């Protein structure tokens, strides 16, 4: 995958950025984490909603969801309940 970067010695460089910070996709991912971790005014911290372990890494979220289409938002589907995970999320038109 294109997110891995090797330094001059061929070792993984953990400081390498994916180049997608502040894009619509990254903003949706970051907003999801902020809500779940209680760092947002619309926090889910006390209602037990979680993010799957895989999606704690942006590149894995991106691999599962793809880039956010223009005019779409991250939606927990089909009923707006449950955790954030690949089987429960989609890009949807805001209500």
Cis peptide before 14 (omega within 30 of 0): no
Rounded percentage of the chain residues whose pLDDT exceeds 90: 52
- pLDDT of amino acid 1: 36
Q: What is the mean pLDDT of residues 16-22?
A: 71
pLDDT higher at 15 or 31: 31
- pLDDT of amino acid 45: 66
What is the reported pTM?
A: 0.75
Tell me the pLDDT band of 27, cut-offs 50, 70 and 90.
very high
């Amino acid at each position: 995958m294109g997110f891995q970067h090797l330094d001059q010695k061929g070792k993984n460089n953990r400081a390498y950025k994916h180049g997608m910070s502040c894009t619509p996709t990254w903003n949706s991912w970051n907003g999801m984490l902020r809500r779940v971790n209680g760092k947002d005014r619309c926090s889910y911290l006390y209602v037990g909603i979680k993010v799957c372990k895989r999606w704690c890494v942006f590149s894995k979220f991106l691999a599962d969801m793809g880039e956010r289409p223009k005019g779409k938002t991250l939606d927990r589907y089909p009923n707006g309940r449950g955790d954030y995970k690949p089987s429960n999320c989609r890009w949807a038109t805001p209500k």
